[in-house]
Chain A
C-alpha cells in the first residue's frame, strides 16, 4: 500500500547513485553497452535497494541490511593477490582443476590455455565490443531483479568463458577470495557459454577474511546449448562479517542435463537468487542446496524456475540447518506456462532447527497454467527427532555426537547431487568441520 510514495534514499542508495553518475563514462564498453548500463541503473533506481514491499524480497529487507555501500577496493598487485588467495580457500583440499581467480572482485589470473575453452576478461571483451557481450543478461525471467540490474550497471570485472565440444569433459573453477584492510564492495560478473553438446563441471567458490564487513554482489550466468551437460557447484564460505548477494542466471537449450548445488555457510548475511529458464524441450534439471547457519547469521535462497516449454523435468531439494539465533529463508517458485505440457516439477525444502531461537521462513510457490503436468512441493520445519536421538544415545554416543550424526545424514541427501567425488569430499569435510565447531 502507498506504492506511489517515493521513499527517501538511504545512505547506501545515495552513494550508489553518486558513484554511477561519476563512473558511467569511464566504465568499459561502447555506446550500446553504455545504454544498457543506464537502463539497468534506471531500473535499480526506480525501486532502490529492495525492501519487503517487493514480494520476492518478502523476508529479506536489503534496504535495511545494506546500510552503506563501501567503495570498491583498489586492484591488488600480484603478490597481494597471491597471499589473499592462499589464505582464503573455501576448500580444505585443493582441486586439480584449472581456475580463474578473483581477488576482491578483480580478475587476477587465468589458467593456461585449455583446448576447446576460450576465456576472455570481461572488461577487455566490453572494451573491444566482443560479440559475446551481447549474450550477457539475456534471460528475460531475471530482468526485473534490482540487484542483478545493479550488477549490470557497474559490470567491468569478470570473464566470459566459452566451452566448445572439443573440450571433452572440461572442468573449471571460479575462485573468489576477499581480504583487505578496509570494507569494500565488489560486483564481479561471469558469463559461461556451454556450446551444443559440450560438457562442463563448473566449481564456484567464495571465501574471505573474517571480521571484514565487505559486500559482494556477484553474478554468474550460464547459457547451455542443446544437448549440453553442466554440473555446477557453488560454495559460499565468505567471511563472517561479509554481506553477500549473488545471482545465478541459467538458460537451457533442448535436452540439457543441468545440475546445480550450493552450500552456504560463511557470511553474516547472504542472499542467493537462482533464475532458471527452459528454452528447449527435454531438459533435465536438478537443483540442490545445503545451508548451515549459526550465531546471528542470515541466509536467503530464492529460486525461480520457469518451465516455458513442454517435457522438462526438474527436481529441487534444499536443506537448512539452523543453530543459535540464525535465520533461514527459502523461497521457491515453479512456473509452468500454458503450453508447457508434460512438465514434471518437484520441489522440497526441509529445515532443521537446532536451537530455541532459530527462525526459518519457507515459501514454496507453484504457478501453473498447463493442465497435463505434475508438480509438487513440500516444506517441513522442525527439530531433531527425540526418538532417534535417544536411540543413538542409548548406544553410547554423547549427545553432541548423536546430533552431529543426524545433521550429517540430513544434509547428505542434496550432497548426492554433486557428481565429482573430489568436490563432494570437500563438501563433506566442510559439513564435518561445521559440526565439529559446534563442540
Chain B
C-alpha cells in the first residue's frame, strides 16, 4: 500500500526548501583560532574560567580522542570531516556573562524573538500562556540568558548554564559529569568531552516536583563553527522534571558539525521527561549544506522505580546519528522512547534507542515512526538487552516506517538480546498488528477496512505525540496529522 495523498502533502509542507529558520544574524564574534589542538581545549577552558580539574578532564578526553577512529557502522554517508577546518568556540564580541537581558546584544534578542522563544519573564507573565517555561538560550558557544532562575531557586532547583555549574556547584558536576556517558564512550562523545562549550545543568532536589517546564534552545549562528553542547540533568530521589530542547541553524552551503552529549541521572523514584524537537538546517534539496548531527544521549535510571522518558521529533539535520538510551539499573525502573523521524531531500537519519535492562522488574517501551521522502534514507537502529539478573524485564517495541516516492529508503535494524528466561521481549514492525477486535468494532459501525485502519493508526500516533509537552505541541501539530497509512513496517 502506498502512502496516501494527505500524508504526501503534509511531508511536502516541511520539505527541506521550506526551512523557516534559515536566516542569519549578523554579529561581530570572537572565535578560538581555527583548528583543534590542546591549545584550543585550554582556550575554551580558560574562556569559561574553569578550575584546573576541569581543564585536565578535557585534556584527558582530547588525548584519548586523538587515538580514536570515526565510527562507520551507521547507515550514513558523508565526505570525511576535516576536524582542523572549523572553529570550536565562538561568542558574540564583548560578551561577558550578562547580568540581565538589557546587557544582551539586541541583535541576539531579536533572533530569539524571530524564533519565537520568549526570553523576557514579564512578557511571558503578561502573555496568554498559562504555563511557564524556563529557558536557557544557547547561542553558538555561550549561554546568553537563563530565565526564571530566581523563582526556581526558591524551590531548590538549580537551572543554569553548565559552565556556571562547573564554577558554582563543582561537587555535583564532579560527581555526575561523565558518569552516564564516560569521556571515552565513543568518538563524538569524546570529542565533545574535550571541547564542549555550553549547555544546561539541572539539579532537582529530593522530593521536588519542578514547578515549570525547563527548556534549552540551541542556535548555531556563526559560519564554519561547530556546536558542542553538554547537558546534565540530575533528578534526586522522588523528584520530577520535564525538559525540552529545541534547535535551529541558518541556511548555509557548508556543513556544520554538532556533537552534543546529554546525560540524565534519575535516582530512586525520580522521573525525567526529556523532549526534543530537532530542526537543524537540513541542507537544500541537492544535499548542499546542513548540520551533521552526531549526538550521544543517555539516561541512567540509577535508583529503584525511577523513570526516564525520551520523546523526539526529528525533522532537521543533513545527517542524524542519535540513539537516546536508557540504562535500567534500578529495580522496577522504566524507560520509554517515542520518536517520529521525518527525512526529506537528501537527509540521512540513523536513529533509534538502546534499552539496557540490568535491574529486576524493569520495563521499557519503544515507539518509533520513520517517514522517508525525497532522496532520503531513514534508519531505525535499536538495541534491547536483558542481562542475567534482569528477571521479569519487559520490553515492547514497535517501529513503523513509511516511504514516499521510490528514491528513498527505510531500514530497520533491531538487536534484541536476552540473557534471562523470565524477560519478555516483543518486537513488531507493522501496522497490520491492529487487533481484530478493534477492526471489528470500527467496521461494524460502517467504516471501510481502510478507514478503520486509518482511524486506529492515527489514534495511535496521537498517543505518541501526547507525550510531548504542551509547549511543543504547536510545532508538532503538523506532524500529528501525518497518517501512517501505507506503512511498510
Contact = CB atoms under 8 A, between A and B. Distances in A.
Contacts of A360: 416-418
Contacts of A368: 401, 403, 409-411, 488
Interface in B403-434: 403-430, 432-433
B317 to A, nearest CB: 21
Nearest to A370: B406
Contacts of A369: 403, 406, 408-409
A338 B2 CA distance: 14
B427 A362 contact: yes
Contacts of A116: none
A367 B414 contact: no
B427 A371 contact: no
Pick the most buried of B404, B408, B429: most chain A CB atoms within 10 A of its CB. B429
A372 interface: yes
B424 A382 contact: yes
A248 to B, nearest CB: 23
A3 B71 CA distance: 10
Contacts of B3: 371
B73 interface: yes
A371 B406 contact: yes
B423 A381 contact: yes
Interface string A346-364: 1000010111111111111
B414 A371 contact: no
A7 to B, nearest CB: 15
B69 A364 contact: no
Contacts of A372: 1-2
A315 interface: no
B417 A361 contact: yes
Contacts of B407: 338
B10 interface: no
Given A55-B73, A360-B417, A362-B416, A382 B409 contact: no
B416 A361 contact: yes
Contacts of B433: 376, 378
Contacts of B69: 1-3
A15 interface: no
A379 interface: yes
A377 interface: yes
A368 B404 CA distance: 12
Interface residues of B, number: 44
Contact of A365 (B2, B404, B411, B488): B411
Contact of A356 (B411, B412, B420, B425): B420
A367 B424 contact: no
B388 interface: yes
Given A377-B489, A378-B428, A353 B409 contact: no
Interface string B429-455: 110110000000000000000000000
Contact of A366 (B73, B405, B412): B412
Given A366-B429, A373-B488, A381 B424 contact: yes
Interface in B434-484: none
B71 A1 contact: yes
B68 interface: yes
Given A376-B428, A379-B427, A363 B413 contact: yes
A376 B426 CA distance: 14
Pick the most buried of A338, A351, A353, A366: most chain B CB atoms within 10 A of its CB. A366
A83 interface: no
Contact of B414 (A339, A355, A363): A363
Contacts of A367: 409, 411-412
B71 A371 contact: no
A383 B423 CA distance: 7
A359 B418 contact: yes
Interface string A158-192: 00000000000000000000000000000000000
Contacts of B427: 362, 364, 377-380
**Which interface class (under 10, 10 to 19, 20 to 34, 35 or more) fits A?**
35 or more
B415 to A, nearest CB: 5
Contacts of A202: none
Contact of B415 (A1, A339, A354, A361): A361
B291 to A, nearest CB: 24
Contacts of A370: 403, 406
A356 B411 CA distance: 33
Given A371-B2, A376-B428, A383-B422, A364 B414 contact: yes
Contact of A378 (B388, B417, B423, B429): B429
Nearest to A322: B421
Q: Is the interface of B mostly helix, strand, loop or mixed?
A: loop
Contact of B425 (A373, A374, A379): A379
B430 A376 contact: yes
A375 interface: yes
A353 B421 contact: yes
Given A366-B410, A367-B409, A369-B409, A375 B421 contact: no
A73 B361 CA distance: 52
Pick the most buried of A55, A357, A367, A368: most chain B CB atoms within 10 A of its CB. A368
Contacts of B68: 1
Contacts of A371: 2-3, 403-406, 408, 486, 488
A357 B423 CA distance: 11
B188 to A, nearest CB: 13
B488 A375 contact: yes
Interface string A34-68: 00000000000000000000010010000000000
Interface string B368-403: 000000000000000000001000000000000101
A65 B430 CA distance: 36
Nearest to A355: B421
Contacts of B404: 371
A227 B408 CA distance: 32
A204 B421 CA distance: 32
Nearest to A364: B414
Contacts of A359: 417-419
B429 to A, nearest CB: 5
Interface string B1-37: 1110000000000000000000000000000000000
Contacts of A358: 421
A383 B474 CA distance: 44
Contacts of A58: 415
Contacts of B406: 338-339, 341, 369-371
B415 A363 contact: yes
Contacts of B405: 371
A362 B489 CA distance: 17
A129 B415 CA distance: 45
A119 B187 CA distance: 56
Contacts of B424: 380-383
Nearest to B71: A1
B421 A356 contact: yes
A379 B409 contact: no
A397 to B, nearest CB: 21
Contacts of B415: 58, 361-363
B418 A374 contact: no
The 8 closest A-B pairs by CB, nearest first: A376-B430, A353-B421, A382-B424, A371-B403, A376-B489, A362-B416, A379-B427, A366-B412
Interface of B: 1-3, 68-69, 71-73, 187, 388, 401, 403-430, 432-433, 486, 488-489
10 contacts: A351-B418, A360-B416, A363-B413, A368-B411, A369-B408, A371-B405, A373-B488, A375-B489, A377-B427, A382-B424
Given A351-B418, A371-B403, A379-B426, 9 more contacts: A357-B419, A371-B408, A374-B489, A375-B429, A375-B430, A376-B428, A378-B429, A379-B427, A381-B424
